[in-house]
Chains A and B, each alone.
Chain A
Amino acid sequence: MSANNPEYDFTWCPGCGDFGVRRALEFAMGEWNAKYETPMANNVVVAGIGCSGNLVHLLEGDQPYGFHGIHGRSLPIALGVKMARPELNVVTVAGDGDFLGIGAEHIGPQAARNLNVCAVIMDNSVYGLTKGQASPTTAQGAVTNSTPYGKLETPIDPLELYLTLGVTYIASSYSVKPRDLAKLIFDGMEHPGFSIVHVQSPCTTYNDTFEVLKGNKKKGIDPTAWTIPDDHDPSDRAQARAIIEQGGVPLGVIYKDETRASFDAGADDIRERASHKDVATLLAAYDL
Chain B
Amino acid sequence: MAGRSEIVVRFAGEGGQGVVTAAEMMARAASGVGFHALTFATFPSQIIGGPTWTQARISRSPVLAPGDSVDILVAFNAAAYEEHRVDVRDGGVILIDPSITPDPNDPGHRCITVPFDELAKQTGESRAANMVVMGGLSRLVNMPVQYFKEFVSTRFAGREGVVEANHMALDLGLAHLAEEAPVSDLGEPDPPTYKQLFIKGNDAVSLGAMHAGVEFYMGYPISPATPILIYMERNLVGPGRFAYQATSEVESITSVLGASFAGKKAMTATSGPGFTLMGEGIGLGWMAELPCVIVNVQRGGPATGLPTKTEQSDLLSALSPAHGDSRLPVIAPGTVEECFYATVAAFNWAERAQCPVILLSEHTLAERAQNIPKPDLAATPVENRVTYQGKNGYLRYDARELSPMPLPGGPGAYTANGSEHDSYGDTTHLPARHVQMTERRFGKLKLLEDGTFESERKAAKIAIMPWGGSKGSVREAYDMLREEGMDIGWNYTMYLNPLPPKLLEELLSKDLVIVPELNYQGQFASVLRSLRVNAEAITQYTGLPFKAGQLAQRIRSMIAAAPKATAKQAVKV
Whether A and B are associated in the same complex: the answer reads yes
Given contact pairs A66-B415, A73-B250, A287-B197, A83 touches B428 in the complex (Cβ within 8 A)? no
Residue in A4, A7, A82, A276 with the greatest tally of chain B CB atoms within 10 Å: A7
Would you call A1 an interface residue if the criterion is a C-beta within 8 Å of the partner chain's C-beta atoms?
yes
Which residues of chain A are within 8 angstroms of B433 by Cβ–Cβ distance? Answer: 7
Would you call A226 an interface residue if the criterion is a C-beta within 8 Å of the partner chain's C-beta atoms?
no
Would you call B171 an interface residue if the criterion is a C-beta within 8 Å of the partner chain's C-beta atoms?
no
Which residues of chain B are within 8 angstroms of A57 by Cβ–Cβ distance? Answer: 415, 426-427
B255 nearest in chain A by CB position: A80
Which residues of chain B are within 8 angstroms of A70 by Cβ–Cβ distance? Answer: 254, 280-281, 283-284, 418
B198 nearest in chain A by CB position: A288
- The complex places the Cα of A274 from the Cα of B247 at a distance, in Å, of 23
A58 nearest in chain B by CB position: B426
- The complex places the Cα of A223 from the Cα of B161 at a distance, in Å, of 79
Which stretch from A37-45, A118-126, A238-246 is at the chain B interface?
A: A37-45
Q: A8: which of B251, B283, B422 is its contact (CB, 8 Å)?
A: B422
Min CB distance B263 to A, Å, is 7
A267 nearest in chain B by CB position: B242
Which residues of chain A are within 8 angstroms of B517 by Cβ–Cβ distance? Answer: none
Q: B263: which of A64, A84, A276, A283 is its contact (CB, 8 Å)?
A: A84
Q: In chain B, residues 251-288, which have Cβ atoms closer than 8 Å to a Cβ of chain A?
A: 251, 254-264, 266, 280-281, 283-284, 288
Q: In chain A, residues 19-62, which have Cβ atoms closer than 8 Å to a Cβ of chain B?
A: 39-42, 44, 46, 54, 56-57
Would you call A218 an interface residue if the criterion is a C-beta within 8 Å of the partner chain's C-beta atoms?
no
Min CB distance B76 to A, Å, is 28
A44 nearest in chain B by CB position: B408
Q: In chain B, residues 406-462, which have Cβ atoms closer than 8 Å to a Cβ of chain A?
A: 406, 408-411, 413-419, 422, 424-430, 433
- CB <8 Å contact, B424 and A68: no
- CB <8 Å contact, B251 and A79: yes
Q: B196: which of A64, A88, A279, A288 is its contact (CB, 8 Å)?
A: A288
Which stretch from B369-377, B477-485, B495-503 is at the chain A interface?
A: B369-377
Q: In chain A, residues 264-281, which have Cβ atoms closer than 8 Å to a Cβ of chain B?
A: 267, 270-271, 274-277, 279-280
- The complex places the Cα of A280 from the Cα of B210 at a distance, in Å, of 10
- CB <8 Å contact, A83 and B254: no
Q: In chain B, residues 474-526, which have Cβ atoms closer than 8 Å to a Cβ of chain A?
A: none
Interface string of B175-215 (1 = CB under 8 A from A): 00000000000000000000111110001000100110001
- CB <8 Å contact, A80 and B218: yes
Would you call A87 an interface residue if the criterion is a C-beta within 8 Å of the partner chain's C-beta atoms?
yes
- The complex places the Cα of A1 from the Cα of B427 at a distance, in Å, of 11
Which residues of chain A are within 8 angstroms of B254 by Cβ–Cβ distance? Answer: 69-70, 73, 76-77, 79-80
Q: Is the interface of B mostly helix, strand, loop or mixed?
A: mixed
A74 nearest in chain B by CB position: B254
Which residues of chain B are within 8 angstroms of A85 by Cβ–Cβ distance? Answer: 262-264, 408-409
- The complex places the Cα of A282 from the Cα of B375 at a distance, in Å, of 12
Which stretch from B10-18, B123-131, B233-241, B550-558 is at the chain A interface?
A: B233-241
Q: Is the interface of A mostly helix, strand, loop or mixed?
A: mixed
- CB <8 Å contact, A279 and B207: yes
- CB <8 Å contact, A283 and B207: yes
- The complex places the Cα of A259 from the Cα of B203 at a distance, in Å, of 39
- The complex places the Cα of A174 from the Cα of B278 at a distance, in Å, of 35
Q: In chain A, residues 193-246, which have Cβ atoms closer than 8 Å to a Cβ of chain B?
A: none
- CB <8 Å contact, A105 and B408: no
- CB <8 Å contact, A54 and B257: no
Which residues of chain A are within 8 angstroms of B298 by Cβ–Cβ distance? Answer: none
Given contact pairs A66-B425, A81-B259, A81-B262, A271 touches B377 in the complex (Cβ within 8 A)? no
- CB <8 Å contact, B410 and A41: yes
- CB <8 Å contact, A7 and B255: no
Would you call B221 an interface residue if the criterion is a C-beta within 8 Å of the partner chain's C-beta atoms?
no
Interface string of B216-250 (1 = CB under 8 A from A): 10100000000000000011011101101011101
Interface string of A96-118 (1 = CB under 8 A from B): 00000000011001000000000
- The complex places the Cα of A5 from the Cα of B395 at a distance, in Å, of 11
- CB <8 Å contact, A83 and B415: no
Which residues of chain A are within 8 angstroms of B264 by Cβ–Cβ distance? Answer: 84-85
- The complex places the Cα of A40 from the Cα of B414 at a distance, in Å, of 12
- CB <8 Å contact, B428 and A65: no
- CB <8 Å contact, A279 and B408: no
Would you call B473 an interface residue if the criterion is a C-beta within 8 Å of the partner chain's C-beta atoms?
no
Which residues of chain B are within 8 angstroms of A41 by Cβ–Cβ distance? Answer: 392, 408-411, 413
Q: A77: which of B239, B257, B413 is its contact (CB, 8 Å)?
A: B257
Residue in A1, A69, A87, A279 with the greatest tally of chain B CB atoms within 10 Å: A69
Q: In chain B, residues 343-376, which have Cβ atoms closer than 8 Å to a Cβ of chain A?
A: 371, 374-375
Would you call A286 an interface residue if the criterion is a C-beta within 8 Å of the partner chain's C-beta atoms?
yes
Q: A80: which of B216, B288, B426 is its contact (CB, 8 Å)?
A: B216
- The complex places the Cα of A74 from the Cα of B424 at a distance, in Å, of 20
- CB <8 Å contact, B259 and A288: no
Would you call A133 an interface residue if the criterion is a C-beta within 8 Å of the partner chain's C-beta atoms?
no
- CB <8 Å contact, B258 and A79: yes
Given contact pairs A57-B415, A67-B416, A283-B377, A77 touches B197 in the complex (Cβ within 8 A)? no
Which residues of chain A are within 8 angstroms of B334 by Cβ–Cβ distance? Answer: none
A113 nearest in chain B by CB position: B244
Which residues of chain A are within 8 angstroms of B409 by Cβ–Cβ distance? Answer: 39, 41-42, 85, 87-88
Task: Give chain A's interface residues, CB within 8 Å of chain B.
Answer: 1-2, 4-5, 7-10, 39-42, 44, 46, 54, 56-57, 63-70, 73, 76-85, 87-88, 105-106, 109, 267, 270-271, 274-277, 279-280, 282-283, 286-288
6 A-B contact pairs sorted by A residue (CB < 8 Å): A40-B413, A65-B415, A76-B250, A84-B264, A270-B237, A288-B195
Contacts A65-B261, A66-B414, A76-B251 given; 14 further ones with Cβ under 8 A? A1-B424, A5-B428, A8-B422, A41-B392, A65-B414, A67-B258, A73-B250, A80-B254, A85-B408, A279-B210, A282-B235, A283-B197, A287-B197, A288-B32
